[in-house]
Chain A
Amino acid sequence: MTAEFVQPDLMPALPEMVMLAMTCLVLVVDLFLPQEKRGFTLLLSVLTLALAIGAVALVAPASAVSSFGGSFVLDQLAVVLKIAVCAITIMVFVYSRDYLADHDIYKGEYYVLGLFATLGMMVMISAHSFLLVYLGLELLSLSLYAMIAFNRNSLRSSESAMKYFVLGAMASGLLLYGISIFYGITGTLDLTQLSASVKGQMAEHPVALGFALTFIVVGLCFKLGAVPFHMWMPDIYQGAPTSVALFIGTAPKIAGFAMAIRLLVDGLGDLQVDWSQMLTALAIASMALGNVIAIAQTNFKRMLAYSTISHVGFILLGILSTSANGYASAMFYTITYAITASVAFGVLLVLNRKGFEAEEISDLSGLNDGNPWYAALLAIAMFSMAGVPPTVGFYAKLSVLQAVIQVDMVWLAIVAVLFSVIGLFYYLRIIKVMYFDKPMAEQTTTIKEALDVKILLSANSLSLILLGVFPSILMAYCILAFS
């Protein structure tokens, strides 16, 4: 039995191929650029991402297509999420430029590693076998470990990179353990075949399946940052350079959501009673712990980390409702959360200057006196995170809660609302600090304003209101992805 050499259809993977080729180009071109022309690397990186978005739009299929023996799938979900990931990475790159220059880490490797991480996310989004999910995840994680440790002169960065590396390796191990048990039970890594095989094995081997599922859920929730697997997040957000924290806090969440959908819904849909229960406990714990601990934080980056944990709880709410409506609203929530978080970190990056690392909440005091525009942009982001209309955060929360109520889990919706109200406190405190506190002495200097950053950040922040008023712009695509 010699296998026929059948050429796989390469077209669906065009965005990934464009991305890889261009990233290698960036890597080589950057070597020949002198330090003062580093801006060209940024330009080329943004062009890479723009080309990738174009390629995704070009190959976007009417119905799902799969290639490479079914291990790669391009459907509506993949198209929307890939565009979102690339667009958010563009914003990350533009916002971080001045911060990197001020901290003497303005190097091409930041962009190269960022692009490779984006490629990893795109692989995760399109993966339809355990093998590709894992490879994409490792590509993303490995790039992130290096990006965190990028500022070699900072002891804290090295420490948090080490923490993330050790914990991330352990979580990957747990995920692999779960994958290997599933492989032992079903004899396949392909998610479509796995799904068919699990159905047959459910009556025979319920314990072994549950055992394997637990490992998968734990590995997944570690990567998403759900309680009790959240311990790494506050330390890494605080320790990483703010430009990297911005990256970690936004695009990888979208990839994590895609991984959850691929593994749990596509692959293990028949075990949904089990994982839905597990996610319920994790979601409640995340919302409770994230919102309550965030109140006690004085460091803005740590506060955002705990806020992320609570938002992950909300995303899990959408997934655990196990309905197309729930998945669509979780997808909407994830994308809009990534947009919101990029505004919050973006404003923080603008406030950074040479020799002054803005990261405490007190660093924001009286921001309105000197820079009313940036204060307003951050205020919009805070309102959106808190879920105040007319910002998009309100609609995102509303649609998730709606999905939860539709599956008769009213008590869960009430718990979620209660914790959101608690969360309101610390978001409003930021607004109070910005508008009603006296500015501190070292803050009187006006901040450096790059025009492109200002325009992009403003558009980014105002899009939160636009999406809040007209959510159907994005929601239509989310619903289409799960119909």
Chain B
Amino acid sequence: MIETIIFYVFAVTTVVSACAVVTVRNPVHAALFLVLTFFTSAVIWMTLEAEFLAISLVLVYVGAVMVLFIFVVMMLDINVARMREGFVRHLPLGLAVAVIMLGIMLSVVTSDVFFMDVGSEPVARAADYSNTKALGGVLYTDYVFAFEIAAVILLVAIIAAISLTLRKRGKTKYQSPAAQISVRKADRLRIVKMPSSEE
């Protein structure tokens, strides 16, 4: 009973905040609504006993990705008024695409070409069952090769991004700490002998 109530409360919040992401005018508010959507989805995962996924969703998406998003939104001065231009003009086309998409989805869901009878309803695990431990068990045995290759792909992405964008500019003024530290008194200070002015 209590689980059902929790599910409906958070499911409704998820849907409402997801709609708000695309409808509110202020981009910062939209980003914050996205945070709320992620958070409530994490709770729904929690009710499905996927604790590890729920926690990593909050940690990774809410904690890191969304903060980055908000930074970007605040730093880029997006001209909202110009982006809204032509809303009425493009409305018919957008509606047509939406209707076609809806029709296709309905036809797929209602037809018997794609079916939903595979698999049985999952059973609840015992209270001491550790989702994280089970994931770790396969992640570092059966999937360790795939896991490593995924890491290599990220490494390649870093190398590619740096090698394609790093340019040495001749005119940039930058400090050379090594040269600064190794400087000696004689390089900077010149002692000039002057006759005393008192005489």
- Note all chain A residues with C-beta closer than 8 A to B159: 27, 109, 112-113, 116, 146
Q: Does B150 count as interface, using CB distance less than 8 angstroms?
A: yes
**CB within 8 Å of A: which B47-87 residues:** none
User: Would you give the 0/1 interface string for B121-152, flagging 1 where the beta carbon is closer than 8 Å to chain A?
Assistant: 00000000110011001101111111011101
Q: Does A424 count as interface, using CB distance less than 8 angstroms?
A: no
**Cross-chain contact B153 with A139 (CB below 8 angstroms):** yes
**CB within 8 Å of B: which A131-182 residues:** 131-132, 135-136, 138-139, 142-143, 145-146, 149-150, 152
- Note all chain A residues with C-beta closer than 8 A to B156: 113, 116, 139, 142-143, 146
A339 to B61 alpha-carbon distance, docked (Å): 47
Q: Does A441 count as interface, using CB distance less than 8 angstroms?
A: no
The segment from B97-105, B110-118, B170-178, B189-197 that touches chain A is: B110-118
Q: Does A119 count as interface, using CB distance less than 8 angstroms?
A: yes
User: Would you give the 0/1 interface string for A85-118, flagging 1 where the beta carbon is closer than 8 Å to chain B?
Assistant: 0000000000000000000000101001100100
Q: Does A296 count as interface, using CB distance less than 8 angstroms?
A: no
**CB within 8 Å of B: which A434-464 residues:** none
Which of A8, A131, A142 lies in contact with B160, CB distance below 8 A?
Answer: A142
**Cross-chain contact B145 with A71 (CB below 8 angstroms):** yes
Q: Does B119 count as interface, using CB distance less than 8 angstroms?
A: yes
Query: What's the minimum C-beta distance from B171 to chain A, rounded to whole angstroms?
Result: 18
> Given A1-B129, A3-B137, A112-B159 in contact, is the A185-B118 Cβ separation under 8 Å?
yes
**Cross-chain contact B152 with A205 (CB below 8 angstroms):** no
Query: What's the minimum C-beta distance from B182 to chain A, rounded to whole angstroms?
Result: 21
Query: What's the minimum C-beta distance from A290 to chain B, rounded to whole angstroms?
Result: 30
Interface size on A, residues (CB 8 A): 45
Q: Does B23 count as interface, using CB distance less than 8 angstroms?
A: no
Query: What's the minimum C-beta distance from A132 to chain B, rounded to whole angstroms?
Result: 6
Q: Does B164 count as interface, using CB distance less than 8 angstroms?
A: yes
A67 to B142 alpha-carbon distance, docked (Å): 8
A173 to B157 alpha-carbon distance, docked (Å): 18
- Note all chain B residues with C-beta closer than 8 A to A69: 138, 141-143
- Note all chain A residues with C-beta closer than 8 A to B4: none
**CB within 8 Å of B: which A193-213 residues:** 205, 207-208, 211
**Cross-chain contact B143 with A68 (CB below 8 angstroms):** yes
Query: What's the minimum C-beta distance from A262 to chain B, rounded to whole angstroms?
Result: 15
Q: Does B163 count as interface, using CB distance less than 8 angstroms?
A: yes
A211 to B114 alpha-carbon distance, docked (Å): 10
**Cross-chain contact A109 with B149 (CB below 8 angstroms):** no
Q: Does A80 count as interface, using CB distance less than 8 angstroms?
A: no
A13 to B134 alpha-carbon distance, docked (Å): 24
Q: Does A6 count as interface, using CB distance less than 8 angstroms?
A: yes
- Note all chain B residues with C-beta closer than 8 A to A136: 149
A150 to B114 alpha-carbon distance, docked (Å): 44
Query: What's the minimum C-beta distance from B144 to chain A, rounded to whole angstroms?
Result: 6
**Cross-chain contact A131 with B113 (CB below 8 angstroms):** no
- Note all chain A residues with C-beta closer than 8 A to B146: 68, 71, 129, 131-132, 135
Interface size on B, residues (CB 8 A): 31
**Cross-chain contact A146 with B163 (CB below 8 angstroms):** yes
- Note all chain B residues with C-beta closer than 8 A to A54: none
**Cross-chain contact B114 with A184 (CB below 8 angstroms):** yes
**Cross-chain contact A107 with B153 (CB below 8 angstroms):** no
Query: What's the minimum C-beta distance from A150 to chain B, rounded to whole angstroms?
Result: 7
- Note all chain B residues with C-beta closer than 8 A to A135: 146, 149-150, 153
A136 to B152 alpha-carbon distance, docked (Å): 10
**Cross-chain contact A4 with B153 (CB below 8 angstroms):** no
> Given A3-B134, A8-B142, A68-B142 in contact, is the A150-B163 Cβ separation under 8 Å?
yes
Q: Does A72 count as interface, using CB distance less than 8 angstroms?
A: yes
- Note all chain A residues with C-beta closer than 8 A to B134: 1-3
A381 to B115 alpha-carbon distance, docked (Å): 53
Q: Does A7 count as interface, using CB distance less than 8 angstroms?
A: yes
Which of B118, B138, B149, B155 lies in contact with A184, CB distance below 8 A?
Answer: B118
Q: Does A386 count as interface, using CB distance less than 8 angstroms?
A: no
Query: What's the minimum C-beta distance from B134 to chain A, rounded to whole angstroms?
Result: 6
Query: What's the minimum C-beta distance from B136 to chain A, rounded to whole angstroms?
Result: 8
Max chain A Cβ within 10 angstroms of own Cβ: one of B115, B153, B167: B153
- Note all chain B residues with C-beta closer than 8 A to A123: 149
A116 to B137 alpha-carbon distance, docked (Å): 28
Query: What's the minimum C-beta distance from B129 to chain A, rounded to whole angstroms?
Result: 7
**Cross-chain contact B118 with A208 (CB below 8 angstroms):** no
- Note all chain B residues with C-beta closer than 8 A to A211: 113
Closest residue of chain A to B113 (Cβ to Cβ) is A207
A135 to B154 alpha-carbon distance, docked (Å): 11
- Note all chain A residues with C-beta closer than 8 A to B141: 3, 5-8, 68-69
Query: What's the minimum C-beta distance from A48 to chain B, rounded to whole angstroms?
Result: 14
- Note all chain B residues with C-beta closer than 8 A to A139: 149, 152-153, 156
Closest residue of chain A to B128 (Cβ to Cβ) is A2
Closest residue of chain B to A206 (Cβ to Cβ) is B113
- Note all chain A residues with C-beta closer than 8 A to B115: 205, 208
A187 to B146 alpha-carbon distance, docked (Å): 19
**Cross-chain contact B160 with A143 (CB below 8 angstroms):** yes
- Note all chain B residues with C-beta closer than 8 A to A71: 142-143, 145-146
> Given A152-B164, A208-B113 in contact, is the A3-B138 Cβ separation under 8 Å?
yes
Q: Shortest 3 CB-CB distances between A and B: which pairs? A: A69-B142, A146-B160, A3-B137
* A–B complex contacts, Cβ < 8 Å, 14 sampled: A3-B134, A3-B141, A5-B140, A8-B142, A13-B145, A68-B144, A69-B138, A69-B141, A112-B159, A131-B146, A132-B145, A139-B156, A207-B113, A208-B115
A-contacting residues of B (Cβ < 8 Å)? 113-115, 118-119, 129-130, 133-134, 137-138, 140-146, 148-150, 152-153, 155-157, 159-160, 163-164, 167
B-contacting residues of A (Cβ < 8 Å)? 1-8, 13, 16, 20, 27, 67-69, 71-72, 107, 109, 112-113, 116, 119, 123, 129, 131-132, 135-136, 138-139, 142-143, 145-146, 149-150, 152, 184-185, 187, 205, 207-208, 211
19 new A-B contacts, CB < 8 A, other than A145-B160, A150-B163, A205-B113, are A2-B129, A3-B134, A3-B141, A4-B137, A5-B140, A5-B141, A6-B141, A20-B148, A68-B146, A69-B141, A69-B143, A116-B156, A123-B149, A131-B146, A135-B149, A135-B150, A135-B153, A149-B164, A185-B118
